[in-house]
């Protein structure tokens, strides 16, 4: 079998996130994992075309052209918007304009904005204790944490997010969410059963920036309890249905009915760009507020820079801050960035009026070299657009 032949027939739950099977599975998640629809509604937001960037002419510091960087980072789809106009739209492999692609941890950033909507509605209080919304988590890692600390990943969890570890809690976590077969690491139940079992790490809540995906799943659980609604309904009525999206989105859901708000959202590249444009417009889409502008402003201006500097994020971005599930690196002032493993990026640059959605099937979940290249690529593309105006 070559790199593409028969992938659909040979892809299964045990290999779907490995290369080359992920080139097919990331756009066919619904054939492998259970889930539910997040509905679009209303008129579609359209983008007028503008002159495309010459991707061969834009150079990274390494000497590579932007086109080369796009190719060697296993890009599946790339959408570049210049002040709301469609500049470049590229698809590769199994991807096309109507294809939903797994967003992985970009889902966290979507969930972070959903939280802001519920805060504005008076349904969610970030200062309240997590266990006051979800009593099942009282004796877990999040038992003494506030909702704000969960939003900011400021909770120490005894959980090692090494994506290449074949066993331990991470393996059980994947079984619980139904992303892996039980094999040698069975876990009975879904995330609602698994999350309360995770214990606190050594640091007090609020004193660290500990990126742990289960913390984002806890956030989704809190939002459900605060609102009395399930995640697909919340996203449909509060967010996705107001974007002017062209396609329904979709999210993985386990056997207990828990939506994977840490990484299970699937959407088209164009709709992800529409979501990014809403962020760039301070939470507004089609002339109406979707996310409170104050919540977007808080993401841009708040966050703990000291804990960022002490975390793994410093090695990628340098100085910056993390707030409500979004990255804000100081080297690109005004940029809000959402990142998922295997090369999923949403880059929103309000100062240069640029939005970039990049979906990929990189072989490794985490690749420091490609992460740095993807960040530079987005920065160079935004600079090229700003300089030609």
Tell me if residue 105 is catalytic: yes
Which residue among 105, 156, 324, 361 is the active-site one?
A: 105
Distance CA 280, CA 301 (A): 15
* C-beta contacts of 117-124 below 8 A and 24+ residues apart: 117/238, 117/239, 117/290, 117/291, 117/292, 117/295, 118/223, 118/226, 118/227, 118/234, 118/238, 119/292, 119/295, 120/292, 120/295, 123/226, 123/227, 124/222, 124/223, 124/226, 124/227
Distance CA 15, CA 20 (A): 9
DSSP secondary structure code for residue 200 in this structure:
B
Q: Are 103 and 340 in contact (CB under 8 A)?
A: yes
Which phi and psi angles does 320 have, rounded to 5°?
165, -165
Residues acting as catalytic residues: 105
């Amino acid at each position: 079998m070559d790199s593409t032949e028969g992938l659909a027939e040979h892809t299964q739950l045990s290999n779907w996130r490995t290369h080359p099977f992920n080139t097919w599975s990331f756009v066919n998640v619904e054939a492998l994992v259970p889930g539910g629809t997040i509905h679009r509604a209303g008129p579609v937001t359209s983008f007028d075309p503008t002159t495309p960037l010459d991707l061969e002419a834009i150079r990274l510091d390494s000497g590579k052209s932007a086109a080369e960087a796009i190719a060697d980072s296993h890009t599946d789809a790339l959408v570049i918007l210049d002040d709301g106009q469609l500049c470049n739209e590229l698809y590769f492999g199994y991807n096309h304009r109507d294809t939903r692609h797994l967003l992985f941890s970009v889902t966290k950033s979507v969930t972070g904005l959903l939280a802001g909507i519920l805060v504005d509605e008076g349904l969610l209080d970030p200062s309240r204790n997590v266990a006051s919304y979800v009593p099942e988590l009282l004796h877990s890692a999040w038992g003494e944490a506030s909702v704000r600390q969960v939003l900011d990943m400021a909770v120490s969890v005894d959980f090692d997010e090494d994506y290449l570890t074949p066993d331990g809690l991470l393996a059980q976590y994947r079984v619980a969410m139904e992303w892996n077969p039980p094999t040698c690491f069975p876990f009975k139940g879904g995330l609602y059963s698994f999350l309360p079992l995770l214990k606190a790490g050594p640091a007090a809540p609020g004193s660290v920036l500990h990126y742990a995906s289960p913390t984002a799943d806890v956030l989704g659980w809190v939002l459900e309890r605060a609102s009395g609604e399930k995640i697909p309904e919340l996203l449909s009525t509060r967010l996705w249905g107001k974007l002017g999206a062209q396609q329904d989105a979709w999210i993985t859901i386990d056997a207990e009915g828990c939506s994977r708000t840490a990484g299970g959202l699937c959407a088209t590249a164009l709709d992800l760009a529409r979501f990014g444009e809403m962020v760039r417009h301070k939470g507004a889409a089609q002339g109406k507020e979707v996310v409170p502008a104050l919540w977007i402003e808080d993401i841009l201006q708040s966050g703990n820079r000291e804990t960022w500097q002490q975390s793994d994020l410093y090695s990628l971005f340098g100085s910056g801050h993390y707030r409500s599930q979004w990255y804000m690196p100081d080297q690109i002032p005004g940029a809000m960035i959402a990142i998922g493993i295997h090369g999923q990026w949403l880059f929103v640059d309000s100062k240069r009026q640029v939005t970039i959605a990049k979906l990929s099937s990189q072989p490794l979940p985490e690749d420091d070299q490609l992460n740095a290249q993807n960040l530079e690529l987005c920065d160079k593309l935004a600079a090229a657009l700003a300089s030609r105006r």
